[in-house]
Structures are given as C-alpha cells and as structure tokens.
Structure 1
Amino acid sequence: MPAHTSPEELYRHSLCLLLDKDIPAWVGLWAEDGVMEFPFAPPGWPAWLEGREAVAAYMRDYPDRIDLHDFPDLRIHRTERPETIVVEMRGVGSLVGTGAPFDMTYIAVVSVRDGRFTSYRDYWNPLAVHEYGLDFAGSGIR
C-alpha cells in the first residue's frame, strides 16, 4: 500500500510523479480495477478507461506530448465522503513537438480506497484538443 493514504496526500504525490515524468509510478497509484472517466471527451478520444492497464496505455506516451512544469492554483476540496475529493488546478508546461506553451485548467472528482485511486473523473476543456493540436490517435487509446 502506498505511504500516501489520504486522498489529498495521494493526489499531491501523483502530481509530483507527473512532474517527474514517472508514468509507471503514477500508474502504480491506481487500484487494479480503477476507472478513469473523461465526461467532456471530444469525438475520437476515450471517455472511459477501466482498469490499471487501460490507464497505463492511455498515459504511456503523455511525456512525449506534453512537458508539464507545474500545477499552480491547486485547490483540493473535501466532500461528505472521506474517500472522495474535488480538485481544481492548472497544468502548465509546453508541447514537446513544438515547444509551444501549454496551460490547461482541470477539475477532477477523485476517490481513493486503501491508498489507491479507484475513480477519477477528469473534467478538462475538449476545445484544447484543437487549440494545442493534441491527437492521441494511434497511441492505443480507444
């Protein structure tokens, strides 16, 4: 079990791993049956990932596309359910292929059980796909 067992601790640790580009360790924070949802996913992008392996496939090439530098404006809100938090943040960095700036606002609803992510609903701006020229086609993501 990870040392970061509260949802807040686990989430903050996960952001450090993303900044370190340690995707295998980030995926290791997931429960085997964890689910990642993208309610605003644009056409052609996944709306639902079920299981740690699906999350790993989705994230595998992330550092080859986006070089994250910071997560400013991080706000973590507790809910009535102790295992669930709501997170507001920005991810800033640059696009690896062009060096262009990247700045995305996120809201996530995250649940944790036994120190692992079990549910992660990621609300990000689908218009950014076109703005940043992001394309996950061919990456094994469905």
Structure 2
Amino acid sequence: MSAPTSPAELFRHSLRLLLDKNIPAWTELWADDGVAEFPFAPDGWPRRLEGKEAVAAYMRPYPDHIDLHDFPDLRIHHTTDPRTVVAEMRGVGRLVRTGAPFDMTYIAVVTVRDGRIISYRDYWNPLAVLENGADFTGSGR
C-alpha cells in the first residue's frame, strides 16, 4: 500500500493497523516529536505523552488489554487547518482480561505534518473503561 497522503487517509490507515494489532506499524505513523494527549484521563493515567518512543511504550501492551474488532460510525471532519482532522467514532471489541464487551465512543483531534502524526488529542470517556475493570495506564498491569 502506498503511504497515505492526507490526514484523513492517514487516520483511516491508523485504525486498520489497530484492528490488525500491528502496533509497531501504527507507531511508525508518528513523527519523532509527536505528542499524544488525553484531556479526560483519570488520576494515575497518563495525560500527555511526548515523543514517538513514549507513544510506542504506551501503546505496546494495548492488544493485551483491548481486543478491537471494529470502528463503526466513523466520521472524519475537516477543519480550517488542512493538516488537522476531527474524528468521531466508536471502538468495539472485548476486554482481554475479563472477556467483557468493549464499546467506547471517541473524539480525536489529529494533526499531521509531512505524512506523520504530530498531535493526537484523544477525548474518550475513562469512566466507561473503569466501570469494566480495564487497566490501560501504560504500566502493563
């Protein structure tokens, strides 16, 4: 597959990689100085990850915690900044530890520079994960 050429294409490609559980390839979509932010993260969970390596370390155990099956209801909105898109979506699957269903609604604000993610603000509902007993603090617990 050729490299995605727009922020929307890059974002769609990133979702396919997450569904494939290909975290190394997903991480390669990031700029070395990329920043991930989680404005609604509860206490004890990271709110900001600076740099590709920090994002990679955070995401590495993701498939061990959440088995994603689909991202239904994906809507990508273009902004006045051609480098930035806003995505609305649901992530559905199951929690690996308990087998409980996973169904989370997300809003992500993603900015791309030179074909790489430089900013990813992930507005998700931490209460939904905490209620289901998931632990995804990046600690590997």
Question: Does TM, normalized by the shorter one, top 0.5?
Answer: yes
Query: Tell me, which stretches of 5 or more residues in structure 2 are unaligned?
Result: none
Distance in 1, matches of 2:140 and 2:134, equals: 15
For residue 138 of structure 1, report the CA deviation from its aligned partner.
Answer: 7.1
Task: Name the structure 1 match of 2:36.
Answer: 36
Task: Name the structure 1 match of 2:55.
Answer: 55
Q: Taking every aligned residue pair, what percent have the same amino acid on both sides?
A: 77
Query: What CA deviation, in whole Å up to 9, does each residue of 1:46-86 have, x standing for no partner?
Result: 00000000000100100000000000000000000000000
Distance in 2, matches of 1:102 and 1:138, equals: 18
Q: Partner of 1:13: helix, strand, or coil?
A: helix
**1:5–1:116 contact (8 Å) kept in structure 2:** no
> Quick one: which amino acid aligns to residue 131 of structure 1?
E
**2:67–2:94 contact (8 Å) kept in structure 1:** yes
Distance in 2, matches of 1:18 and 1:126, equals: 19
**1:57–1:140 contact (8 Å) kept in structure 2:** no
The TM-score, its normalising length taken from structure 2, stands at 0.95
Query: What CA deviation, in whole Å up to 9, does each residue of 1:112-137 have, x standing for no partner?
Result: 00100000000000212321212235
User: Aligned-pair RMSD on alpha carbons?
Assistant: 1.5
For residue 5 of structure 1, report the CA deviation from its aligned partner.
Answer: 2.3
Task: Name the structure 2 match of 1:66.
Answer: 66
Distance in 2, matches of 1:50 and 1:73, equals: 29
Runs of 4+ in structure 1 displaced over 3 angstroms?
none
| 1:52/1:138 CA distance change after superposition, 3 Å | closer
**2:68–2:94 contact (8 Å) kept in structure 1:** yes
Q: Partner of 2:58: helix, strand, or coil?
A: helix
Query: Tell me, which stretches of 5 or more residues in structure 1 are unaligned?
Result: none
| Count, aligned residues | 140
**1:36–1:120 contact (8 Å) kept in structure 2:** yes
**2:23–2:60 contact (8 Å) kept in structure 1:** yes
